[in-house]
Amino acid sequence: MSWRAVVAVILLIGGGVLELIAVLGICVMRDAYDRLHYVGLAGFGALIIGLAVLIRESFSLIGDKALLVGVILVLTGPILVQTTARSLLIRELGDWRTKARQEEP
């Protein structure tokens, strides 16, 4: 085995372990607010898997797309968490912006 294959397998196992931890965390947490914390972990797991594919396949169409998917998941994860948390708050409390305007002196 070449050194690239060894590094790719190590990264693939590491990314798979992070994804497994994220899935188990989502299954164990009680409410949606607690589950939102695991989106970042899942994104970084995907990024590490994308790096494993990039190291194995080098900079080719497959490697570039795998890395791009991982980067997009890491960058859009916080946006997804923010919009989901805001949607949950609006669903529970109603439109909080109108209440804040009514309380202003």
Residues 11 and 52 sit within 8 Å (Cβ to Cβ)? yes
Number of structural domains found in the chain = 1
The alpha-helical segments, DSSP class H, found in the chain are: 3-28, 32-35, 39-57, 61-93, 96-103
What whole-number distance in Å separates Cα of residue 50 and Cα of residue 57? 10
Residues lower than pLDDT 50 in the chain? none
Nearest to 84 by CA among 14, 28, 31: 31
Q: Which domain holds residue 43?
A: 3-103
Residue 6's pLDDT is what? 94
Residue 93's pLDDT is what? 82
